[in-house]
């Protein structure tokens, strides 16, 4: 059974929480790429996966959000994309297989960090190749599904989905990041939720949705706007609010208890995969596990 089969049965799945901010809480230095830990301290990454599984996550994401040539070039790791993605997927797979219940491994793929031509230096073909390289390596390492996330520009999002679909056999989820301004909910490149549904669907994403952003309250509005526009599964992974810089680090205000009303609302609206993004950790996932279990049980009764 694939993850799409399970979602088609109506089961709501729970994803894990943040990777980068949680690794920073556990010792990753500010400014260091989380992917370096795959080489220097893989046990720390493995322990994070295990903690999310213990908290109740059905899906754990690989530590590869920034594992592409453009981002890793800043740290001299641009030629190790495949190695890092394979290693990350293998670590997540190890943690998943230690669990007595089924846990799915999602290969995380973030944006390139560069701007596409003609406004920037990155050619569409180079972007496609970067995304394909990561997707292939994540599949090789044992990922069950690919999560293309925190996309902001529609062209880059579409290229990433096509690269994943055309070069792997894995289901592909794609999410964009929105913030509310005077024009409503938009990505920094001006994409609204309705347009996101259209472009991600046309590119071939099996699962659509949103991640990151300003918090769970905005996420409720985003998913409420998307739900009537598609029958595909929807994924929601919100930040734990807007961070504040306190004592040299970002502190996110939303506690596991404070997100409960919005998490319940997301389930009622029709989200199919619920999880967390920046600032969320195992305690948030543990709280959402109870909500998801209750919701699934009520649907079956």
DSSP output for 265-279: HHHHHT-SEEEE-TT
Q: Would residue 297 count as lying in a domain? A: no
pLDDT reported for residue 89: 98
pLDDT band, very low/low/confident/very high, at 301 (cuts 50, 70, 90): confident
Q: Would residue 144 count as lying in a domain? A: yes
Q: Would residue 240 count as lying in a domain? A: yes
Give per-residue pLDDT as tens, 30-68: 889 999 999 999 999 999 999 999 999 999 999 999 999
Look at residues 135, 257, 274 and name the one whose alpha carbon lies nearest to residue 209: 274
Q: Would residue 298 count as lying in a domain? A: no
Around 288, how many Cα atoms within 13 Å sit in the side-chain half-sphere? 35
Please tell me the pTM assigned to this model: 0.96
pLDDT exceeds 80 at position 248: no
Parent domain of 210: 3-292
Question: β-strands 172-176, 207-212: how paired?
Answer: parallel
264: which 2 tokens? 């319940």
Helix or strand holding residue 250 (H, E): strand 249-251
What integer best gives the mean pLDDT of the chain?
A: 96
Q: Give, in degrees to the nearest 5, the angle at Cα 175 between 297 and 156.
A: 165
What's 111's domain CATH number?
3.20.20.330
3-state class of 127 per DSSP? Answer: helix
Q: Would residue 254 count as lying in a domain? A: yes
pLDDT reported for residue 249: 79
pLDDT reported for residue 112: 97
Task: Give me the number of domains the chain comprises.
Answer: 1
pLDDT exceeds 90 at position 87: yes
Q: Would residue 69 count as lying in a domain? A: yes
Which ranges of 16-102 does DSSP label H, i.e. alpha helix?
20-25, 37-40, 42-55, 69-72, 81-98
Q: Would residue 300 count as lying in a domain? A: no
Q: Would residue 301 count as lying in a domain? A: no
């Amino acid at each position: 059974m694939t993850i799409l089969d399970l979602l088609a049965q109506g089961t709501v799945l729970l994803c894990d929480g943040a990777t980068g901010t949680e690794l920073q809480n556990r010792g990753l230095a500010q400014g260091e790429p989380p992917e370096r830990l795959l080489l220097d301290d893989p046990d720390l990454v493995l322990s994070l996966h295990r903690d999310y599984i213990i908290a109740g996550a059905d899906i754990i994401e690989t530590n590869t959000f920034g594992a592409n040539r453009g981002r890793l070039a800043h740290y001299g790791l641009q030629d190790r994309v495949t190695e890092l993605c394979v290693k990350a997927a293998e670590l997540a797979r190890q943690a998943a297989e230690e669990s007595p219940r089924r846990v799915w491994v999602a290969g995380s793929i973030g944006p390139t960090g560069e701007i596409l031509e003609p406004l920037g230096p990155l050619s569409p073909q180079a972007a496609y190749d970067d995304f394909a390289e990561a997707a292939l390596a994540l599949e090789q390492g044992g990922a069950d599904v690919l999560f293309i996330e925190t996309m902001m520009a529609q062209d880059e999002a579409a290229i990433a989905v096509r690269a994943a679909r055309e070069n792997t056999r894995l289901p592909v989820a794609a999410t964009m990041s929105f913030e509310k301004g005077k024009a409503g909910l938009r990505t920094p490149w001006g994409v609204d939720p309705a347009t996101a549904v259209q472009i991600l669907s046309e590119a071939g994403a099996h699962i659509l949705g949103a991640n990151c952003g300003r918090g769970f309250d905005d996420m409720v509005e985003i998913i409420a706007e998307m739900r009537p526009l598609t029958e595909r599964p929807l994924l929601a992974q919100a930040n734990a609010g807007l961070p504040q810089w306190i004592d040299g680090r970002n502190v996110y205000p939303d506690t596991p208890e404070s997100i409960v009303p919005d998490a319940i609302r997301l389930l009622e609206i029709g989200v199919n995969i619920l999880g967390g993004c920046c600032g969320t950790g195992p305690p948030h996932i543990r709280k959402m596990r109870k909500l998801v279990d209750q919701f699934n049980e009520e649907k079956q009764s």
